[in-house]
Amino acid sequence: MFDFDQYLGFLAFMTIATIGFWLMIFLLTFVVPYWIGGSIMEMIKEKREAKKQAQEELK
């Protein structure tokens, strides 16, 4: 059915595909939401500081 080198090639392909699959799952469930949440928090802080500065200038 398979020669030994074909079997090794198939195993290498399956290993790379599996690693890629789990990497995509990890990135989509943890890294991307953390990145988006952090940038939203940073944007809120910047708006809050700009609002504080504008109120201090009015005094």
Contact status, residue 2 vs residue 10, Cβ threshold 8 Å: yes
* Regions of the chain where pLDDT drops below 70: none
Residue 3 lies in a domain: no
- Tokens 């609002």 found at: 51
Residue 56 lies in a domain: yes
Q: How many domains does the chain have?
A: 1
Residue 15 lies in a domain: no
Spatial separation of the C-alpha atoms in residues 49 and 25, rounded to whole Å? 36
Residue 2 contacts by C-beta under 8 Å, 6 or more apart in sequence? 10
Domain that holds residue 50: 29-59
Q: What confidence score (pLDDT) does residue 47 get?
A: 98
Residue 5 lies in a domain: no
Residue 8 lies in a domain: no
